[in-house]
Amino acid sequence: MYDFVVVGAGPAGSRFARQAATAGYDVIVFERGDVGLPLACSGHVSEDIWSFTPQGVRSSLLQHEIRGARFHLGGADSRAYPFFRDDPISNVIDRVELDRCLADAARDAGADLRTGHTVTAVTEREDAVEVTVTADGEQRTVQTRMVAGCDGPVSRVRTELGLPEPTERLHGVLGFDTGPDFESFVDVHLVVPTFFAWRIPRGDAGVEYGLAAPPRTDVSQRFESFIEEYGVSVTRTCSGGIPIGPPERVTSHRGFLIGDAAAQTKPFTGGGLVYGMTAADCAARNIDPSDPKSLDAYEKAWRDELARDIRLGSLIRRSYEFPTPIQRAGLRATCGRIGVHMDRPTTLFSPEQLKALFLPGRTPEDQ
Ligand SMILES: Cc1cc2nc3c(=O)[nH]c(=O)nc-3n(C[C@H](O)[C@H](O)[C@H](O)COP(=O)(O)OP(=O)(O)OC[C@H]3O[C@@H](n4cnc5c(N)ncnc54)[C@H](O)[C@@H]3O)c2cc1C
């Protein structure tokens, strides 16, 4: 019997598998496809990402460094309200390679990671969990003390364990223009209901255009209009779900969810890479596969770590729906140099942010 069956080798699953295997547990990971594919992510992350990757991979994954974001209330030609720092605020990385190097690290730590294996059923018993998996047309069932659902926004494990759904799921779409762009600002356009469209310079890897919105809105058509305004055509479009709002419970008797399966994402950007791996570490530190009660410690630990930032992030997102004159006044009053951490809205109240507010040269006009 395994200690942990991990379903999904995305960042959350591979990070948990690596940490659990390092702790000496017997871990198997089932991934239904190829690691990292298909791509459905911008890979725009804070520098914190490097605390979760193996040493020495930064230079091969990093595509570009970002210093700030320009907010717009309209499309390509609308007025920009810049928020920036003097040092890099975030990194744009190769997301496919990120997944591959996290999976390699899990294997190196001793986890058995199998691609082309789809989990189709999970049955919890008092002393074990039965996980049914299909590969090459063959079906088999394995026994494990615990199952980790790291299978993304549409989580089979979540359904099988009867755990509640996230509050909502946005639909994101993105596409790439191949011309190199080394600008140090991303552009954020508040032009869609409840969320935004974006433009991300990716250095030699070109420029990414994207948009996310609730599924009831016509996401594809809005994306087409958005890139038309920029006057570009994109290749390689892709799309995916963005879960927002973690459910009340992400643990069952012998199962638990990590990452997008648990909606451990930033409500104001949809980013889930750093939050998912933060929660993976909470799981690895707290869960003892022989003791179902240890799942309570995981629920507490990840919420202690992330819940305040998720709550504040939800409040920030509400401002995307404010009437335009109020948004304009708010952006005009607050734009300029900032001291916030992009994953931590609670740093809006930090000494760094206060210092940034009162330093000379704060607004773009002062520069
Ligand atoms: C358009 C878009 C842009 C985004 N941009 C950013 C960004 O810039 N920064 C950021 O931090 N986040 C971003 N995100 C979010 C980010 O991609 C997710 O938060 C992250 O991928 C979650 O990681 P995960 O490991 O939980 O899930 P996933 O990466 O979705 O991995 C889940 C894995 O489980 C596998 N799987 C699913 N079902 C099964 C099954 N039944 N059996 C076996 N395997 C299974 C899948 O094949 C997949 O490999 C974006 C998302 C979208 C849609």
**Which range marks the domain in which residue 332 is found?**
322-366
Which amino acid residue places its CA nearest to atom 33 of ligand 1? 8
The answer to whether 83 and 335 have CB atoms below 8 angstroms apart is: yes
CB of 119 closer than 6 angstroms to any ligand 1 atom: yes
Does one domain contain both 222 and 106?
yes
Does one domain contain both 342 and 232?
no
pLDDT of residue 347: 83
- The phi and psi torsions of 350 (rounded to 5 degrees) equal -90, 160
Does one domain contain both 197 and 262?
yes
Does one domain contain both 113 and 199?
yes
Does one domain contain both 115 and 232?
yes
Q: How many independent structural domains does the chain possess?
A: 2
Does one domain contain both 333 and 308?
no
Does one domain contain both 251 and 326?
no
CA 230 to CA 42: how far, in whole Å? 18
- pTM equals 0.95
**What is the best residue among 238, 260, 269 to mutate for testing ligand 1's pocket, by most ligand atoms within 8 Å of CB?**
260
Going through 105-167 in order, the beta strands assigned E by DSSP cover 112-114, 118-124, 129-135, 138-149
CB of 13 closer than 6 angstroms to any ligand 1 atom: yes
DSSP state of 290: T
CA 279 to CA 276: how far, in whole Å? 5
CB of 172 closer than 6 angstroms to any ligand 1 atom: yes
Does one domain contain both 218 and 238?
yes
Which amino acid residue places its CA nearest to atom 13 of ligand 1? 271
The CATH number that applies at residue 51 is 3.50.50.60
Q: Which of 300, 318, 336 corresponds to the end of one domain?
A: 318
Q: Ligand 1 centre from 151 Cα, in Å?
A: 8
Does one domain contain both 340 and 308?
no
Does one domain contain both 102 and 204?
yes
CB of 259 closer than 6 angstroms to any ligand 1 atom: yes
What does the pLDDT average to over 140-144? 98
pLDDT bin (cut points 50, 70, 90) of residue 351 is: confident
Say how many Å lie between the first and final Cα of the chain, rounded.
Answer: 63
Does one domain contain both 109 and 199?
yes
pLDDT digits (tens, 9 = 90+) for 310-343: 999 999 999 999 999 999 999 999 899 888 898 9
Q: Ligand 1 centre from 99 Cα, in Å?
A: 10
Q: Is the pLDDT of residue 24 over 70?
A: yes
pLDDT of residue 310: 97
Which amino acid residue places its CA nearest to atom 10 of ligand 1? 271
Does one domain contain both 282 and 332?
no
CB of 32 closer than 6 angstroms to any ligand 1 atom: yes
